[in-house]
Amino acid sequence: MKLSDNKATLSFSNGSPSIDLPVYQGSVGPDVVDIRKLYGQTGMFTYDPGFLSTASCQSTITYIDGDKGELLYRGYPIEQLATNCDFLETCHLLLYANLPNAAEKEDFTRRVAHHTMVNEQMQFFMRGFRRDAHPMAIMTGLVGALSAFYHDSTDINNPEHREIAALRLIAKMPTLVSMAYKYSMGQPYMYPKNNLSYAGNFLHMMFATPCEDYSVNPVIERALDRIFVLHADHEQNASTSTVRLCGSSGTNPFAAVAAGVACLWGPAHGGANEACLNMLEEIQQTGGIAKVGQFMEQVKDKNSGVKLMGFGHRVYKNYDPRAKLMQETCKEVLTALGLENDPLFKLAMALEKIALEDDYFVSRKLYPNVDFYSGIVQRAIGIPVNMFTGVFALARTVGWIAQLNEMISDPEYKIGRPRQLFSGSVKRDVLPLAQR
């Protein structure tokens, strides 16, 4: 970051002396006012619940321009990455800041592939879960448990440990997600097959059984790979900020990523794809397209508590570029599988059309986000609805670990410790029980 010639001056109406605050410029995007010395100089904090105006860190990984609807990983537009690169190339880019050449890609793919199996003991750990447990509950436990199985890569101050932990997490997430699925189905786990692509291997572990040969459908493989690329990182979103905050205490990368999985689960974040599909199914069951207008009235009624899931975004105030790509993939997959007339897809298109023309959504700049279409694609692939967020977690793991490693290598890195505006009771005395 570069110190700007511009300075911010903070003045007070009560006569306290005004202070100058430095302003820094990034390579692109809004400048920031540096308030680190504010408390020391004035005895005041800033107040920004939800981080609406606060940059929590400096980063070189992902940039979003929400007004333009632009998403860049290390400077490359998401549209170009989704069209020209596969997920492992994207992982290389996020982790090491460059797109791999052919030799680097081969080497990286080999290194990831050598970590795809999980300790056999994890199967027994898995047995402790109820068969009907939500896959995200299982994933939170399994990812946290990796630190109990891989003690030799838990020292975040050791760059080699950080590198191995990153490879392990990227390699093992598909294995863990598919184990959670097989467990819920009562089917035997399928071991990873390292001659398959990253997405192909995941499909194999999810849908193959030991009794039959399974061949990967290339259209589905490409669609899944695109889902992974589109979800790989998204700058300082809630789960990534959770991973950074959790990791800032010096905890190990598996524990920090488990915290990210837990955060992602919520319906305002990664859980939105599951919530969106449930919403579409509910509208379908209660009348389908004919009921769309009535549903939209509920969404617009603030007292109903109903939201149009898969719509709106804290940062994108223009179309989410990932939603455009996902809509394209959705059409491709449905055509390849002969599901062009899928009623949920038609319903989603009808909802989108109404929303994009309705003043409620237009005036609030609410557009479809990536989750609006990703659920329909995953459902067509055969992934059960309650596994959607697990697939998101699998894809986002590389972003979490790249951001965590960036934070740890940053000379300005400190434990994250927000302050508060206290509005509770002032000091008072405890009365003896009989007098309360």
Please say whether the beta carbons of 325 and 287 come within 8 A.
no
Q: Which amino acid is at 38?
A: L
Q: Is 371 a catalytic residue?
A: yes
Q: Which chain residues interact with ligand ACO by CB under 6 A? A: 268-270, 272, 299, 307-314, 364, 366, 369-371
Please say whether the beta carbons of 109 and 115 come within 8 A.
no
Cα Rg of the chain (Å, integer): 24
Taking the least distance from each CB to ligand ACO, the nearer of 161 and 300 is 300
Q: Is 410 a catalytic residue?
A: no
Taking the least distance from each CB to ligand ACO, the nearer of 176 and 277 is 277
Give the up-direction half-sphere exposure of residue 127: CA atoms within 13 A in the CB hemisphere.
5
Q: What's the min distance (Å) between Cβ of 392 and ligand ACO?
A: 7
Please say whether the beta carbons of 261 and 136 come within 8 A.
yes
Q: Which amino acid is at 343?
A: P
State the catalytic residue, choosing from 233, 371, 410, 429.
Answer: 371
Taking the least distance from each CB to ligand ACO, the nearer of 201 and 369 is 369
Q: What's the min distance (Å) between Cβ of 80 and ligand ACO?
A: 20
* Residue 343 to residue 340: CA distance in whole angstroms: 9
Q: Give the containing element (helix H, strand E) for 10.
A: strand 2-10
> Computed from CA positions of residues 145, 146, 152, 158, in that sequence, does the dihedral angle turn out positive or negative?
negative
Token pair 């009365």 is found at: 431
Residue nearest to ligand ACO (CB): 312
Q: What's the min distance (Å) between Cβ of 325 and ligand ACO?
A: 13
Q: What's the min distance (Å) between Cβ of 309 and ligand ACO?
A: 5
* Residue 158 to residue 153: CA distance in whole angstroms: 9
Taking the least distance from each CB to ligand ACO, the nearer of 146 and 263 is 263
Distances in Å between the alpha carbon of 229 and those of 77, 164, 335, 337? 12, 21, 21, 22
Taking the least distance from each CB to ligand ACO, the nearer of 156 and 348 is 348
* Residue 321 to residue 344: CA distance in whole angstroms: 22
State the catalytic residue, choosing from 225, 234, 313, 320.
Answer: 313
DSSP category for residue 17: P
Taking the least distance from each CB to ligand ACO, the nearer of 136 and 167 is 136
Distances in Å between the alpha carbon of 172 and those of 169, 183, 398? 5, 16, 11
Q: What's the min distance (Å) between Cβ of 317 and ligand ACO?
A: 9
Q: Give the containing element (helix H, strand E) for 64.
A: strand 62-65
Please say whether the beta carbons of 182 and 190 come within 8 A.
yes
Q: What's the min distance (Å) between Cβ of 393 and ligand ACO?
A: 12
* Catalytic site positions: 313, 371
